[in-house]
Chains A and B, each alone.
Chain A
Amino acid sequence: MEGFPVSLQQPLVSDHQLARLLQIGVVLEEVVEARAYEHARSLDDADLDPETEALLEEAAEESAEHRERLEGLVDELEAESVPFDEIQALVEQQYESDADFDGVLYDQLCNEETAYKFYDDLIEAIEGSDVRFSVDRDRLLATLESIREDEAAGVEDVTRLMEARE
């Protein structure tokens, strides 16, 4: 479907819109973190091999770190981030146990892929906009690019683990 006119593209035009997208990024990271905890809990000792446990732990830590970096940017744009415990409560309410490894690893793969896609689209939208945001554009892009790289590495890690289990 490439090559369609882009008349409907809504360019990123304001600090407000940028802050909103970064807030969504924060929530996505919080969802990943909270789901990783839920997965670890649902698998329990009997099923949880050390590699999967380590993967989930790393995913949670990495998301917490990404979240902090995004929150810093949201702060600079004078917006607020949704606190982690609020999102964690929502995740707990809706969480349906994936019950086995494959489900958990698959969910983890979706998390990393989705996050990658989100940052990729966001970077593209920022690059396509000539607005001067109140945060330094180079620093903003460098932060998002480095997070995107982590997500790409995350996809590889999960894929490797999934393949090893086959």
Chain B
Amino acid sequence: MEVVGVNTADQYLKAIYLVQELENGPASTGRVAEMLDVSPASANEMIGKLEDSGLLDHEKYKGVDLTDEGIQRARDALQTYCIIERFLVEVLDVEEFRAEATQLQSVIDETVAERLDTIIDREPQCPDCFAPEADVCSLLELEADAAD
């Protein structure tokens, strides 16, 4: 299924981008695998393909570094993810929005997300406001969190 193939690549790029932000440097493949909940072998295989496509540089023992093109695609994927999360919270009142956004990102593509984006309040700096540790936009107001 082509669509999933492309989305799979995008999900890897997004994960690598976030790990690079967290580590403030190259991303270790182990951490990328962990974030995506896949085996290190699968992660290595995909990283090799992304490297062949010119989306990242991989240096043994150092880790993975996205190229400019890789960064652009990763940011687009992250933005789509942000739109889905925000849509689930603001429009559908979904509590488990992180898990559901992760599932949905393989079915909801960028063009569909752009339509959903017409009815949510997303800040212009998106996706820079995304907080990788919390797996959610730092500017998104969450009722549940406010009640904590």
Contacts and interface: CB of A to CB of B under 8 A. Distances in A.
A125 B112 CA distance: 15
Interface stretch (B2-10, B18-26, B57-65, B128-136): B2-10
A35 B114 CA distance: 14
A114 B114 contact: yes
A8 B116 contact: no
B116 A7 contact: no
B8 A5 contact: yes
B1 A114 contact: no
Contact of B4 (A6, A35, A95, A118): A6
Contacts of B46: 4-5, 7
A117 B111 contact: yes
Contact of A24 (B3, B109, B116): B116
A58 interface: no
Contact of A27 (B7, B9, B116): B116
A63 interface: no
A21 B107 contact: yes
Interface in A94-138: 94-95, 110-111, 113-114, 117-118, 121-122, 124-125, 128
Nearest to A95: B118
Contacts of B87: 24
Interface in A4-41: 4-10, 12, 17, 20-21, 23-24, 27-28, 31, 35
15 contacts: A2-B2, A5-B8, A5-B46, A7-B38, A7-B46, A8-B4, A10-B103, A17-B103, A20-B100, A27-B92, A82-B91, A95-B118, A110-B115, A111-B115, A114-B112
Interface of B: 1-9, 11-12, 36, 38, 42, 45-46, 49, 53, 87, 91-92, 94, 100, 102-104, 106-109, 111-112, 114-116, 118-121
